[in-house]
Amino acid sequence: MAARKKTFVGFGFGAIQTGLFLWEAQQSGNFDRLVVAMTNDQVVAAIRRARGRFRINVAAQSGRKVCEVSGVEIFNPRVTADRFALVAAIAEASELATALPSVETYEQEDASAAGLLAEGLRAKLRQTSPTRCILCAAENHNHAAEILSACIVKHLTASEAKGLAGVFQPLNTVIGKMSRVVRDPAEITDAGLLPFVEGGARAYLVEEFNRIFVSQVTLPGFKRGITVFAEKPDLLPFEEAKLYGYNAAHALLGYLCRQRGFRFVAEAAKDRELMRFVREAFLEESGRALIARHANVDDLFTPEGYRAFADDLLERMVNPWLRDDVDRVTRDPRRKLGWDDRLVGTMRLALAAGIEPRRLAIGAAAALDRLEREEQAKTGADLLNDIWAGASATPGEKSAVHARILAAQR
């Protein structure tokens, strides 16, 4: 009897889908089909002209190389024939991954990923011997898998939803992989990047790093085709390490680079005082707080483990081959100053552990400086009050953080 096909299906065609999921699926050698859903007509046409091949620019510490993914079948879910093909692919898939702009796009009008998944999973349930499957939800949200699952269920009957438990498991992910899509033709040329296809209008630039954490698979006997990812029974500590460790330090470094007039984050590598300052914030503020919060969970949450984590990340952040643009790192300061986000959220975590977040407050003040320039109608104090208006916090908690950021601004 011929072996059953192993199919991977991805949603979205950004840097994470191309430079992580599709690349690792190909590298595993465990899949007969690589299928992807993409609503951009130009990208779909370009991949088809290239006969399912595309290139990614991969940055290591020592240089950059170009890798190729081949055999990709790409379909636009807004096109009827393509939608049928995607439903059939989902029905036979063993692994899927969503790498969309945000969890808010799961129910995007006329191209609902949740609706399409529901159709494919319904077809899977009708099979005599359905292929069990997992889905990695990579939308940079701690509960992306649960949100996606709830959206899918809305498209199913009660009996169909009940039947999913034995054949389908969505997983959360922690993806600390720096990557981006470069669309500026001048930057593509200046950086020496290769477009994703010949004559293409975009280039994918990703770092070589692939140590990705996912929720533990509980489907009985299931073996993942993409084997490089590490399963964790409780993903929340690692999600917090990414948000309050990696993301916080990256934002702090970015905003301080901006104050110094740097164009690329890699320029910080020559500023020893700046790198020392960010490392101290990483270790003494977020690190001590996270170790206190998640002691005995994993070696990461020990002084030695966290120091290795921080030093590895800081080295990767200033990799010149990534061309990490300061303006990109520091955009959307309103979101980054959110009550539960990387800067203020980490300050709160430190304060709860009895740690004074002096350095993080300086980073938050730098982010507030940028926001004041963008939204000139309001002062910094008013902006913080506006950003935190819906936060679940006591007035005392808000005033404590508020005072530290405004003091650091002076």
| Per-residue model confidence as pLDDT tens digits over 191-220 | 999 999 999 999 999 999 999 999 999 999
**Cα 67 to Cα 57: distance, rounded to the nearest angstrom:** 6
Q: Look at residues 242, 245, 277, 237 and name the one whose alpha carbon lies nearest to residue 366.
A: 277
Give the pLDDT confidence score for residue 232 in this predicted structure.
95
**Cα 291 to Cα 51: distance, rounded to the nearest angstrom:** 49
Quick one: CA torsion of 48, 204, 242, 98, rounded to 10 degrees? -10
- The position carrying tokens 């800081």 is 314
**Cα 347 to Cα 364: distance, rounded to the nearest angstrom:** 9
**Cα 410 to Cα 224: distance, rounded to the nearest angstrom:** 53
Taking domain 7-233, whether its CATH number is 3.65.10.10 is answered by: no
Quick one: CA torsion of 248, 254, 257, 262, rounded to 10 degrees? 160
Give the pLDDT confidence score for residue 1 in this predicted structure.
41
Q: Which two tokens stand for residue 93?
A: 């898939």
Half-sphere exposure of 82 (CA within 13 A, CB side): 18
Amino acid occupying residue 399: S
For domain 237-409, the CATH class is: mainly alpha
Give the pLDDT confidence score for residue 395 in this predicted structure.
86
Low pLDDT (below 50) residues in the chain:
1-2
- The position carrying tokens 């091949």 is 53
Give the pLDDT confidence score for residue 5 in this predicted structure.
62
Which residues fall within 8 angstroms of residue 354, CB to CB, at 6 or more apart? Answer: none
Span 168-195, pLDDT tens digits = 999 999 999 999 999 999 999 999 999 9
Domain coordinates in residue numbering, the chain: 7-233, 237-409
Q: Both ends of the chain: CA-CA distance in Å?
A: 74
Give the pLDDT confidence score for residue 3 in this predicted structure.
52
CB atoms within 10 A of CB 62: 9
Which residues fall within 8 angstroms of residue 186, CB to CB, at 6 or more apart? Answer: none
Task: Determine contact, residues 171/146, Cβ cutoff 8 Å.
Answer: no
Pairing of strands 33-37, 133-137: unpaired
pTM, 2 dp: 0.92
**Cα 289 to Cα 345: distance, rounded to the nearest angstrom:** 11
Element (H, E) at 216: none
